[in-house]
Amino acid sequence: MNYIILDMEWDSAYCPRISRFINQIIQIGAVKLNESFEIVDTFEKTVRSSFSKKVSGRFTALTGITTKDMLSGIPLENAVTLYNEWAGTDTVTMTWSNSDLFSIIENEKNLMRGVKFHIEKYLDLQSYIQNEMRVLGFEITSQIALGKAAEMLGITTDNLELHTAKDDSLVCAALLKNHYCESRFNELIKDTQNPEFYKRLLFKPTYLSDIRSREIDRRKLRFKCDVCGSDTKRLGKWNYRNHWFSANFSCKSCDRKFSGRVSFKKLYDNVVVKKRICEIKVAQKSNEVNDEVQSVPEKV
Ligand SMILES: [Zn+2]
C-alpha cells in the first residue's frame, strides 16, 4: 500500500465550448509515501490549457506559474495519464480538502476526453489534520489553509514554496508523518468505487421551506415553555423567512408568550434541526420582525 498526496493548482478561465468559467487544472503535483510515510517519489507536471492563451495575474501571484510556463506545459489528458502511470495501484490518495475532487470532476467532465484520474481509496487530509488539531486542543471553527495548519503545528516551510503543487504536497507529507494516528486515519479512508461516495460528495444541503414536508419531524415543531417547562400552545400560523420557521406560542400554565423558531437543514443522510426561543417583537412597521435579537438556542 502506498500513500499519495495529490495537489493541483487551478486557474479560473472562461471556456467558450461550455460557455462558462471553469477551474482548469494548470499543475498536477504529488508525492508518494511508503507505509512509514517516507517520501519515495514525487511528481510534477504543468498543463497547457486547451482553450486559454494565458493564466490570470492572480494565479501567477499565488503559484508562481507564469503564462510562459503554462504554454510550455503538456495537454491535461497526457498529464493525467502520466500521473496515473506514476501513481500505480493499491494506493490511498489524499488531497488537502475535498474541494480538489470537485475540480477533478469538473475537469474530467469538460476537458479530459474520457481520461480520468485513477483514485481508488481517498482521504480528505484537511479534515483529518483538523481533527488531530482538535484532539491536541486547538479550537478549530472554520477550514484551515495548509500553510496556517503547518504554522500552528510547527512545521517549517521556509525552504518550500507554498502554492506550488509539489511543495504543498511535501508540507502535507510532513504534517501527516508528525500527526499520524492509525485508527483515526483509517476511519476517514473512503472507497471511491462505492457509488455512495460521489453521491454524498455532490449532495448539496438545503433548508426545508415547506412546513408540510414529510421530512419534518412534527415533534420538533412543539416547544416547551422556557420559563416553567410546561407544554405550550401555538397561537398562529407558521411563517418562513431566512431558513427559519417561526410562530408565536403561549405557555399553558404560566401564560408566557414567545416566538418559537425552528430550521431544518437537509443533509445527505439526516436533517439537522435547530430551535430557538425569542421574545415576541412588537413590530415598528407592519410585518417587520427583528430577527435573532435576544434569542436563546433551545436544546433539541
Ligand atoms: Zn410557562
pLDDT of residue 292: 42
- What is the distance in A from the centroid of ligand 1 to the CA of 258? 10
Residue 187 to residues 35, 98, 128, 232, 242: CA-CA distances in angstroms?
Answer: 16, 16, 10, 43, 36
Residues 6+ apart with CB under 8 A from 91: 1, 2, 3, 4, 120, 121
Query: Do 132 and 40 form a contact (C-beta atoms < 8 A)?
Result: no
**pLDDT category of residue 161 using cuts at 50, 70 and 90:** low
Q: What is the pLDDT of residues 79-89, one digit of tens each?
A: 999 999 999 99
- What is the distance in A from the centroid of ligand 1 to the CA of 226? 7
185 — phi, psi (to 5°)? -65, -50
The mean pLDDT of the chain is 88
pLDDT of residue 293: 42
- What is the distance in A from the centroid of ligand 1 to the CA of 300? 18
Hey, what CATH class is 2-202 in? alpha beta
Judged against a pLDDT cut of 80, whether residue 266 lies above it is answered with yes
Residues, beta carbon < 5 Å, ion ligand 1: 225, 227-228, 230, 251, 254, 256
pLDDT of residue 165: 66
- What is the distance in A from the centroid of ligand 1 to the CA of 135? 41
- What is the distance in A from the centroid of ligand 1 to the CA of 257? 8
Cα-based torsion angle of the residue sequence 126, 130, 131, 135 in order, rounded to the nearest 10 degrees: 150
pLDDT of residue 198: 87
- What is the distance in A from the centroid of ligand 1 to the CA of 261? 17
Q: What is the pLDDT of residues 202-233, one digit of tens each?
A: 889 999 999 999 999 999 999 999 999 999 99
Q: What is the pLDDT of residues 269-290, one digit of tens each?
A: 889 999 999 999 775 444 444 4
The proportion of the chain whose per-residue pLDDT surpasses 90, expressed as a percent, equals 62
- What is the distance in A from the centroid of ligand 1 to the CA of 245? 21
Question: Which one, of 84, 91, 75, lies nearest residue 118 by Cα?
Answer: 84
Query: Do 31 and 169 form a contact (C-beta atoms < 8 A)?
Result: yes
Question: pTM score > 0.75 for this model?
Answer: no
For the chain, the structural domain boundaries read 2-202, 206-298
C-alpha cell at 226: 422556557
- What is the distance in A from the centroid of ligand 1 to the CA of 215? 29
- Residue whose C-alpha cell is 504554454: 71
Quote the CA–CA distance of 126 and 70 in Å, as a whole number.
28
